[in-house]
Amino acid sequence: MDNISNLSTLCQCLRLLDIGQYRSDLDDHRAKQLFVGSTIQLHVVGQLLNLRSYKQIAEQLHAHKTLRKLTKLKSISASALSRKTPKLCTSSLQALFVGLVKQIQALQQGKSPRALGKLCLVDATELKLPLHLSGWAYCSSSKQGVKMHTRVVVDRSPTVFPDRIIASTADVNETEVAVELVTHPDAIHVMDRGYQKHEHFEKWTEQNLLFVCRIRESTRWIVRRDYRISKADKSFITFDQKVILNKCKVPVRLVVFEDEHGRCYHVVTNCWNRSAVEIAQIYKQRWLIELFFKWMKQHLRLIQVFSYSPEGIWNQMYLALIAFALCRLIHLRTQTSKTVWDVLQWIRIYAHAQWKVFQEALHRKPTRTSRGRQVVDRPPKEAQVLKKIIVK
């Protein structure tokens, strides 16, 4: 990295965004102090430090001189920040997120590729909203909310990161946005049952877009050919067939397998050059996107929103993604062996310490060298009782 060891950790994170002086001709037309660039910086600070209100963000600025110097703000009120947030241009936040993703992709080029190749995991997570504050997100008399349709890239070990989202109200079905997310020509797209649409399967096959999608067990199909399953694989691979799905003309491959808990999965794919075991392993990787959603909701401010307007919620989604991308970028740049969650925790602990102190903490080796309590094979209870009798 550059010679910035004397900067605080938080300031270095904001420098990676490179938007401190950004002003929007439209949104900053009458602004005198709080511009778009500094507003985004303050919100990223809120995400990284888990600040729960505009008031806490404003107080954070008031408390630290280095932050005021970087944002070029002497002070700001919570109400001013509240008014500015919905006015942020969502497309600008999207462009900022895409720029960070490109940096992540460039840094992971030297990493070893995964054995299963490049995967794009596609799924959606739902955020519930209060019934009396978000009538625009109406779904039913008892439900209002939004969805974040997400594509997560799993390419080179151990990097996992999102590269695109589509925000919508909760009543938008996954199949309606699937075509916009299944676009990578050099990756296998992995999806759950919510994305089952036979028209899309035909279209993706014609476009040479690879997919692995779980289907409902009630789906009808016609078997065209049975593929041989080795004895070693028969323990968990039930069927490997070439089939024609209901109301379809293009054949697909059906793989039926069981997991270690005996649950049965029906998966269709247009990957013909992979073994049935590999197809099952590829589908199991879909769980990584569920872990990503859990990470975002637990560690960043995604569930509790600052604003209940559509623009405010869309902006908060991208601000949370920008914070995650920053953590992943720092994780790759520092080449630490710690996890991304560890990096975020260390940012929060060393936020106002010097960058070099933060780096030393990331690379500090554990002082405890003990292997911990080891499992020792003990003789059965009968032998112990017998030994006591003999001793007596």
Average pLDDT over residues 243-265: 92
pLDDT value at position 23? 76
Res. 1: pLDDT tops 50: no
pLDDT value at position 7? 80
pLDDT value at position 387? 46
pLDDT value at position 148? 95
In total, the chain counts a number of residues equal to 392
Res. 351: pLDDT tops 50: yes
pTM score: 0.88
Q: What is the mean pLDDT of the chain?
A: 87
Place of tokens 């601000």: 319
Q: How far is CA 23 from CA 30, 53, 217, 262, in A?
A: 11, 24, 54, 57
* Rounded CA separation 375/254 (Å): 44
Average pLDDT over residues 161-178: 94
Res. 47: pLDDT tops 80: yes
pLDDT value at position 88? 86
Domains of the chain, residue spans: 9-90+306-363, 113-290
Average pLDDT over residues 55-82: 90
pLDDT value at position 371? 65
* Rounded CA separation 103/281 (Å): 29
* H-helix or E-strand spanning residue 54: helix 54-63
Least confident of 23-27, 51-55, 255-259: 23-27
pLDDT value at position 198? 95
- DSSP letters, 233-302, are TTTTEEEEEEEEETT--S-EEEEEEE-TT--EEEEEES--SS-HHHHHHHHHTTHHHHHHHHHHHHHSSS
Q: How far is CA 380 from the centre of its chain?
A: 48
Residue 369's SS3 state is: coil
Question: Which residues sit opposite 149 in a β-bridge?
Answer: 124, 166
Res. 315: pLDDT tops 60: yes
Least confident of 76-80, 92-96, 109-113: 109-113
pLDDT value at position 386? 44
Domain 113-290 class in CATH: alpha beta
